[in-house]
Structure 1
Amino acid sequence: MRWKRFTLPLLLLFSPLALSQKQYTEAACLLLQHQIVQFAAQPNSHNYLSAKREVDNHCLNPIPAPVKDVVLTNIPAKPVTVSSVKNTVTTKPVNTATATKATTPPPVKPAPAAAPKPADVLKGYFAPVAALFGAILALLGGMLAMLLLLVIVVVLIGFIAARYGARIKGAMEERALHKVLVKELPASYQHYRNLVIPTAKGDFTEVDHLVLSPFGIFVIEVKNYRGWIFGGEKQPQWTLQRFRSKHPFMNPLHQNYKHTQAVKQLLGLTGKDADSVQSIVAFGRHAEFKFQIPPNVMYTSLVGDYINDFYQPCFSDEQMRMFSARLNMAKAGKKVLRKLHMQQFGA
């Protein structure tokens, strides 16, 4: 067959190469011979035997190194020597391996690291401790600032409660009554809050709430007391008891009597018309009465129902317009009159 005619000569050609040992280069053989000389004193050592075996097997016919011209771009050219006798140029053959080795800079050994100083060692050892201590100080500082802020807020709240607590509680209960009146009374009823009006003695008094309707004028005194209430309709003082502490206060019916008299004077009511001015005392839901209270003393939530029980007309339209005009004038001058009212307490 045709393929056998070409395959057989190729096998005959490459068989000597396949059977022969691979030969090293001259440079590799020189290194192996140097190793043999170095370990000649130890002929039984692994290094000697290994190098001897490699030389015997692979350095019988070493491969010569190819001769190439070495081009050194960073070294100036050597002058050419011209012989005067034979006029021939003599040049010395250059070994490529030697030239390459000569041009390669020796490796630079790294400088030995300086031994750490004791201070640096201590500093590195205590760095985590210092960081932890700083974090603890920052946390304590934040907690201390929060605690200080909390103390300031508590002191401020205590100061406000001690000085303005009664006024704030009273204002809250007055607002609660205002919501009840707006929700439960007819829209035609006129509602006034915190009116400051003059009295017959020339001073001023403040009315918490006043409701103007065709069926009567209702003057309301608001109290926001917490605890047990003891008293009587005609007693000049009532008593507030909370736990074991007792505090006397002025009979609110007597206090509101001054308000009703001031309203009668402002509106010019006398005789039968004056009887249409009704006095009401409203307590918050935290008060508990320990006596038989009069009909016009009640809880704030019941004031609307009490006023709605009056359904007999007692004022004409002309009177209602006059009352509304005078009350609106008092409302417009409330700031000035309140200032005068506060000055009379300061005196």
Structure 2
Amino acid sequence: MTDPRFERNEMMRTDQNHNNDEDETRYPDGTVKLRNPNIELMDQDILYHLALGSESHDLVEMFGDVKFVCMGGTPKRMQDFADYIMKEIGYKLPTGTTLQDISRYSYRYSMYKVGPVLSISHGMGVPSISILLHEMIKLMYHAKAKDPVFIRIGTCGGVGVDGGTVVISDGAYDPLLNNYYEVPVLGKLTSRPAILDKKVIRELKALADVEDPYETVTGKTMCTSDFYEGQGRLDGAFCEYTETEKLKYLEHLKEFGIVNIEMECVPFAALTHHAGIKAAIVCVALLDRFNGDQVSTPKEVLNEWQVRPQKLVAKYIKRHLQMKGKFSLDGHGSMAVKSPRRFKLVQQESQTFE
């Protein structure tokens, strides 16, 4: 009988080789090619959780110039990042306009557009970010955006690193320390390698300022599907292990090279890699899990810490924009409606879709 682990590893190798072929994921001009032939046959592709549609909106006009898709957990954080990146890149909104939450009619995610930068919330955990990624990848396809880079900006628990430390993930692992994303498809487990872009990681690390009063490190990141027991916390509603067992587990993670724990890195790395999209993750540790489970740092300090990953990502974006020259002022994120009737339908579908 064939060992199931062998079959899974073979599946991963097959997927890895398949995914390395850029012809499968990119058109010659750098635009995204979907791994789903059904989309081209549909009358309209409704992105339910973004309140957008391929026929109700002119997605090329709205998003065709996007070069960077930045995402983080909460709407407030990503609105703040949109305001911050607008100042950093010197982007000026057209007279009489303000930043708008493009996906406000979905009541699920918040999305802001600042020139070539999208700033969007992904919620908490694997299901929430996986839904968003499917629709963001499709959005890039419909918009004909060329060579977009996806970056997750978040918070995490440190494993042997102090609170306030910025962590650039160079690997994404599940709680069993597998670096692939397993999702049941038609009753069978499908494995997809969780791989981040090494070049983007190197560029981000090189941009860290040695004069910063905090460390910026690279290391492996563990993704869990649970905030409490899945992360070995002692403060959940249930805890059937001792503090000694928790510390032993954290030591095991540290020896493996894990430097932080969060709840989105594996699907983020796997789905972007499967789509042929360059991606990276930059988080700030809110505490060292060896020293406890609850965050006791004052709120004003936490607010400053959460800006640290944004600063590094802003440096990366500014550097690339400077290399490419001036960016277009067209497509500033206002609604470009193709069909008022379909536009209304998409709003209604997005508000009621479960």
TM-score, normalization by structure 1: 0.28
Higher helix share: 1
TM-score, normalization by structure 2: 0.27
Larger radius of gyration: 1
